Amino acid sequence: MNAINQTQNHKVNGERLWQSLMDMAKIGETEKGGVCRLALTDLDKQGRDLFIDWCKAEGCSIRIDKMGNIFARREGRNPDLPPIVTGSHLDSQPTGGRFDGVYGVLAGLEVIRSLNDADYVTEAPVEVSVWTNEEGSRFPPAMVSSGVFAKVFDLDYGLSRADVDGKTMGEELERIGYAGPDEPNIDGHAVGAYFEAHIEQGPILEDEDKTIGVVTDAQGQRWYEITLTGVEAHAGPTPMHLRKDALLGASRIVDAVNRIGMANQPYACATVGMMQVHPNSRNVIPGKVFLTVDFRHPDDDILAKMDKELREAAKEITEDIGLGMDFEQIWYYAPIKFEESCVQAVRDGVELNGYSHRDMVSGAGHDACYLSKVTPTGMIFIPCIDGISHNEVEDAKPEWVTAGAQVLLQAMIAKADETVLENTGA
């Protein structure tokens, strides 16, 4: 018997998964039907508490590390084997949706519930993870806690990340009671393989009427923080040619960012997503502007070319206006290629169920990107309506949600039982 045949009779309960998603969405729900559950807020704590309650009800043991990462474990037949892990995040954007991140967490919980329904014990243990602050909306950069786990960042760096009010992740983890005792790294918590289910966050699957995206690669990213300093002055008496307008410089950089993105198609993405203007008064020439830049591309050479073009453009713009500039790249990771056996496990699950599918490159960053540096990793995408994400109207169909969890279940069983199947020659 091969791994595919062995998983054939195991089915997820799509209605139960959908209800869990809707129940979690009540925590931090917004008027437009989305959620605001920023990392390490009281609402994030409520979501974490509910997840842990659900996992304990399924007989899972719970482990929390010093970055607040949660691991809910269902034991396998051989507890000495490293667990097969799935998961994502529960934190959201300020105007986030009901599926981004949380779908991957609750699809993992549904895997455990379905294994319990079938009274099926995998050879290796199975775990569901919740990674702290994946979004990076409150504490930049994104994916910092999975990055600490994968040894991309050290623990002190992770705990010292601060929000706009100066509150650090370490302080807020202590405040909400999620500063766990364990060291957050792969050396102390071996992982046999990692899978992550996620909404696509783009329009391709829905546009092509495909149910599943088999994710083979992920784009590389560079994040920047730029502060421009000019001279605040009265908007009336100050002649145009004598002004050192920081907002004018920022506006030109925004235009340059867009031009760089358009010049490096078909895959480049370039975004200015945040800007703070000082003193932000209608009759004062802005003296200081802070802005962020987000560059993405699946080719690292082109990503480096975009970096060079931005630096050159920003230097030319600020010198032309006479502005001071503090330019910092705060985050970078290279494009990712996911491990072939995990990609194949996803593809096998898709084909067993007859779902329409296509291979995909992820345009967004995910915790799976950092996990791929330390363990075999695969990702599963499902469509989201109109391709909209990071938005309160973000939505998905129940049948898509069920399909992704079904593929996840079968991929995880295949990996969890891989050792025994190899040993029996199945």
Tally of CB atoms within 10 A around 197: 32
CB 375 within 8 A of CB 192: yes
CB 84 within 8 A of CB 415: yes
What is the pLDDT, as a whole number, of residue 365?
84
Rounded distance between C-alpha atoms, residue 260 and residue 291, angstroms:
16
Domains and CATH numbers, the chain: 3-219+335-424 (3.40.630.10), 220-333 (3.30.70.360)
Owner of token pair 């917004």: 30
Phi, psi of 372 (to 5 degrees): -65, -15
What is the pLDDT, as a whole number, of residue 422?
52
Kindly provide the b/e burial profile for residues 155-171, where b requires at least 16 CB atoms within 10 angstroms of the residue's own CB. Answer: beebbebebeeeebbbe
What is the pLDDT, as a whole number, of residue 160?
98
Rounded distance between C-alpha atoms, residue 80 and residue 313, angstroms:
55
DSSP codes of every residue in 254-276: HHHHHHHHHHTTTT-EEE---EE
- Respond yes or no on whether the N-terminal peptide bond of residue 298 is cis (omega within 30° of 0): no
Q: Which residues contact 324 (CB under 8 A, 6 or more apart)?
A: 228, 229, 230, 318
Global pTM value: 0.84
Per-residue pLDDT tens digits of the chain, which is 426 residues long: 334 444 456 999 999 999 999 999 999 999 999 999 999 999 999 999 999 999 999 999 999 999 999 999 999 999 999 999 999 999 999 999 999 999 999 999 999 999 999 999 999 999 999 999 999 999 999 999 999 999 999 999 999 999 999 999 999 999 999 999 999 988 889 999 999 999 999 999 999 999 999 999 999 999 999 999 999 999 999 999 999 999 999 999 999 999 999 999 998 999 999 999 999 999 999 999 999 999 999 999 999 999 999 999 999 999 999 999 999 999 898 999 999 999 999 999 999 999 999 999 998 889 999 999 999 999 999 999 999 999 999 999 999 999 999 999 999 999 999 865 554 444
Owner of token pair 């000495």: 80
DSSP codes of every residue in 291-336: EEEEEEES-HHHHHHHHHHHHHHHHHHHHHHT-EEEEEEEEEE--E
Give me the amino acid identity at 140: P
Residues facing 218 on adjacent strands: 336, 362
Cβ neighbourhood burial of 318 (10 Å; 0-12, 13-18, 19+)? buried
Owner of token pair 């329409």: 356
CB 88 within 8 A of CB 197: yes
Rounded distance between C-alpha atoms, residue 63 and residue 182, angstroms:
8
What is the pLDDT, as a whole number, of residue 4?
43
